[in-house]
Amino acid sequence: MNLALDTKAPAGGGTDRPGQARQSGCLRTGAVVLLFLACGTDVLIHGAEGAPIWPLLLVLAVGLTALLWPARRRPAWLTPQVRTSVPPLTSLAYVLALVALREEAPPAPGQVTLLLCLMFVAVRSCPPRAALVCGALGGIAVLALPLPYYVVEPDSSLAGVLAVFLLVVGLTVGLAAYVRTLDNRRRAAVTEIRRAERLAMAADLHDFVAHHVTGILVQAQVARMMASTEPGKLDPVLAGIERAATEALASMRRTVGVLREHHETAEPEDRRPVGDLTALTELVDGFDGVGGADGHRAELHRDPSVPDDLPHEVQAAAFRVVQEALTNVRRHAADATEVTVALRYAAGALEISVRDDGRGGARLPEAARGGGFGLVGLTERVTALQGRIEARPREEGPGWEVLAVLPAAPGRDAPVGRG
């Protein structure tokens, strides 16, 4: 009865698979054909009974136009309220004219079907108050259709016919209300998913930018110290600042590209996932805890046991663990002379460790030291994958270590959770 012609899919819905699209198209075409056959039956019945045809044709034309007008070509004024109120009013005017002229009207199955379909659209698509008014108007028009026949020839069966029509109207309204409820739930779910995705993207943007900006701050401090003592060695430090700023801008551009409402227009590289085991090499190689003054860089040790086809969620989480740990080294242990990142795979889990030997030599401004939000978000991400993470002082000497374990099987999706 919906004909699947009057309402669009809820915003944010996925694209139909080819088989589903073909099946939906066949059902839509079949419904339209049946509707035209029903309307053609009205015309044939009226012609056989000798009743005037042109008023009926006008009523059917108005109803078919309102119901079948393509959604993409509808003018702005053709709102659901207009579409579902004008045809019933036209039908009521036709019925009242027949009653006033005391002309008998043959049965009209096509007209009944049209009005029921429009009533379904009204209850499902119109705003709440308009749905009540337009739905009631459609129901009254359906119940009024038998009146001309019984006005000319009174019959005790009128009550039974009205009861049947009332039952059909009630079933149509109930079905439309149920579908409306499903639509509302679907929209609410899509909205919540979008909100969660945007929050996750915002957290990723924070992680990337905080990492790069912290590096810029550390290297700028070193540059200021070297400006008076070793001006000849400033160029590598300034190059590091330039590289970190460029990477921060690129991270923001990629993340904002994903956050855009119509992200399908973005370039492919703007939509590609950032952060995986492959990108860890570049991340670690680009880290310089003291801005290049002493050349102390981080080292990556990846055990051959680590598979290349771990789920992307696990690889992204591992990347964030290392990124946040290196950022904290810059913030709180700029005097570190050794930073080691190690990856190994054992017992179906990826183990990540980041160790430094710093004693807390950071001299960053208070606003740049962060409030621990990165580690909180990181814990949520790891916990969502049923993993665990721990940050603690090193047992074998000065410094700090971050340890994380992420359950993952190669080639299989990681558990889906919030975070």
Q: Decide if 271 contacts 201 (C-beta within 8 A).
A: no
Residues 138 and 124: their CA atoms lie apart, in Å, by: 13
Higher local confidence (pLDDT), 139 or 219? 139
**Token pair in block for residue 125:** 């698509």
Give the model confidence (pLDDT) of 10-28 as tens digits. 444 444 455 666 777 788 8
**Token pair in block for residue 126:** 């119109």
Give the model confidence (pLDDT) of 362-392 as tens digits. 444 444 444 444 567 678 778 888 889 988 8
CA–chain centroid gap for 354, Å, is: 35
Q: What is the 3-state secondary structure (H, E, C) of the chain?
A: CCCCCCCCCCCCCCCCCHHHHHHHHHHHHHHHHHHHHHHHHHHHHHHHHCCCCHHHHHHHHHHHHHHHCCHHHCCCCCCHHHHHHHHHHHHHHHHHHHHHHCCCCCCCHHHHHHHHHHHHHHHHHCCHHHHHHHHHHHHHHHHHCCHHHHHHCCCCCHHHHHHHHHHHHHHHHHHHHHHHHHHHHHHHHHHHHHHHHHHHHHHHHHHHHHHHHHHHHHHHHHHHHHHHHCHHHHHHHHHHHHHHHHHHHHHHHHHHHHHCCCHHHCCHHHHCCCCCHHHHHHHHHCCECCCCCCCCEEEEEECCCCCCCCCHHHHHHHHHHHHHHHHHHHHHCCCCCCEEEEEEEECCEEEEEEEECCCCCCCCCHHHCCCCHHHHHHHHHHHHCCCEEEEEECCCCCCEEEEEEEECCCCCCCCCCCC
**Most confidently modeled of 212-221, 283-292, 332-341?**
332-341
Give, rounded to a whole angstrom, the gap between the first and last alpha carbons of the chain. 42
Give the model confidence (pLDDT) of 311-352 as tens digits. 888 888 888 888 888 878 877 776 778 889 999 998 889 999
Whether pLDDT at 269 is above 80: no
The pLDDT, as a whole number, for residue 162 is 86
Residues 311 and 415: their CA atoms lie apart, in Å, by: 10
The pLDDT, as a whole number, for residue 254 is 64
Largest CA distance in the chain: 112
Which residue from 375, 372, 377, 371 is spatially nearest to 390, judged by alpha carbons? 375
Residues 398 and 357: their CA atoms lie apart, in Å, by: 5
Whether pLDDT at 82 is above 50: yes
Domains, the chain, ordered by start: 18-155 (no CATH), 190-407 (3.30.565.10)
The one-letter code for the residue type at 118 is L
Which residue from 343, 322, 349, 338 is spatially nearest to 396, judged by alpha carbons? 338
Whether pLDDT at 288 is above 70: no
Least confident of 277-291, 294-308, 354-368: 354-368
